[in-house]
Amino acid sequence: MARVRNWVDRIAHERPARLALIVFASIIAVATVLLFLPIARTGPGGASFIDAFFTATSAVSVTGLSVLDTASSWTGFGHVVIMVSMMIGGLGVMTLASILGRAVSHRIGLTQKLLAASETKTRLGEVGSLLTAVLVASLSVEALLTVVLLPSFLGMGEPLLEAIWHSMFMAVSIFNNGGFVIVEGGLSPMVGDWLFCIPIIFGTMVGAIGFPVIQDVYANWRKPRFLSLHSKLTISTYLILWLGGTIAIFFFEWGNPASLGGLQGDDKILAGLLQGTTPRSSGLSTLDLAEMNNSTLLIMNALMFVGGGSASTAGGIKVATFAVLVLAIVAEARGDRDIVAFGKRIPSSTLRLAVSAAFLGATLVGVGTLALMHVTDLSLQVALFEVISAFATCGLSLGITASLPTAGKLILILLMFSGRVGTMTLAAALAMRETQRQIRYTEERPIIG
């Protein structure tokens, strides 16, 4: 035991990014074994290994893609495993690694603090308090959502204890942007239930905005001018994308009888607001995505790819990454030497990290789409949507996940794992590897464009 502890302690200090991957993979392995047990699956026998593996990866990576119906295919034990997996996965890979390092060595090492600070955009001395804030914020919001959702489940005629359990499961799924639904028949019957859908919108936004932003807003809500640049960029970009995406969905789907066009009055407004929120990573929808227009699906692809805030329960390349890239383009178009936002200059090293994260994300999506099309007969549109949803840990689907062959499921498993830890780990690793060369070469500019 002491030898294992020493090994973990050494990895935690020397290779925290590697530790994060090991921890993440280990949690998926444990969840897979538990879901593979016969007691986790309804009906005779247990789930197949590939289905248990897929569900475990989807839960821990807080994606929500499902090969089996969550409500009817899993027992109460299976539902507990899925819920706990979502809670752990929602904490974040680097945050989880830091917590493990603290548990093992009773302290957070300097390298871990640097990596956690890089991921969460937090000052070095605040990492310890951030970990506490993560746990407090998660449990508080999940408890609030449980209370708010309870009347809806009671209104369905469920017994009190069953309603509390379903409310708790959905609260965890909403805040952690998990995308799993424990409601029989899905969320379509809830399309006009404001008491059910508004908490989904609120919980998704809070979970996807990022723990550092939550902490910053809590500390400076009376003096918003003191918010950090990261908070200002994240909040403003998130709201702009949410508003723009919602308007676009209203525009393209308003007259579609298979989606918004088939609803009346307030139901149409509520469904559009929820649909504009869900691509940010929650994966919870009251509409049939397969019946939507191609233009709407393209908009949703873009929103899923960007995702939510850094160190949040959301996936994607993150809104701050997108904001830096846009600001760089604007600065170049204006001929400005520096990238400036809210009176602050953004260093070139941040731009390089943003370009690296975006390029890695685009590469994974491109390769994943090609691979999925190769092992199936899916069209480009359907394969691309499913791949982006898996990479961005969103969980939205056009209804083909359950029918995928084993090879297709393995491709999505790799994408969910890579999407949850890939860009985050890359950004932290690159930030730690930055060095000052003793010798600098002469400068020469290639022709661009």
What's the confidence (pLDDT) of residue 28?
Answer: 94
Question: Which sign does the torsion angle of CA 175, 181, 184, 188 carry?
Answer: positive
Q: Mean pLDDT per segment of 10 residues, for the chain of length 449 residues?
A: 58 59 87 94 85 95 91 92 92 58 50 52 55 79 94 90 94 91 86 90 90 84 87 94 94 92 89 91 88 94 92 87 94 90 89 88 95 95 96 91 94 91 58 58 72
C-beta of residue 395 within 8 angstroms of C-beta of residue 283:
yes
What's the confidence (pLDDT) of residue 272?
Answer: 92
Amino acid (one-letter) located at 336: D
Q: How many domains does the chain have?
A: 1
What's the confidence (pLDDT) of residue 3?
Answer: 65
The boundaries of the domain holding residue 118 are 2-433
Distance between CA 413 and CA 400 in Å, rounded? 15
Q: Give Cβ neighbours of residue 157 (< 8 Å, ≥ 6 apart).
A: none
Instruction: List the Cα angle 99/101/106 in 5-degree steps.
Output: 95
256 three-state secondary structure: coil
Quick check: is 443 in a domain?
Answer: no
Quick check: is 372 in a domain?
Answer: yes
Tokens of 157: 């005629």
Quick check: is 376 in a domain?
Answer: yes
What's the confidence (pLDDT) of residue 353?
Answer: 83
Quick check: is 438 in a domain?
Answer: no
Quick check: is 233 in a domain?
Answer: yes
pTM of the complete model: 0.88
Helices (H), 283-392: 294-306, 319-334, 348-375, 380-391
Quick check: is 389 in a domain?
Answer: yes
CA 108 to chain centre: 25
Quick check: is 439 in a domain?
Answer: no
Question: Which sign does the torsion angle of CA 31, 32, 36, 40 carry?
Answer: positive
121 three-state secondary structure: coil
What's the confidence (pLDDT) of residue 424?
Answer: 55
Quick check: is 7 in a domain?
Answer: yes
What's the confidence (pLDDT) of residue 129?
Answer: 63
What's the confidence (pLDDT) of residue 22?
Answer: 77
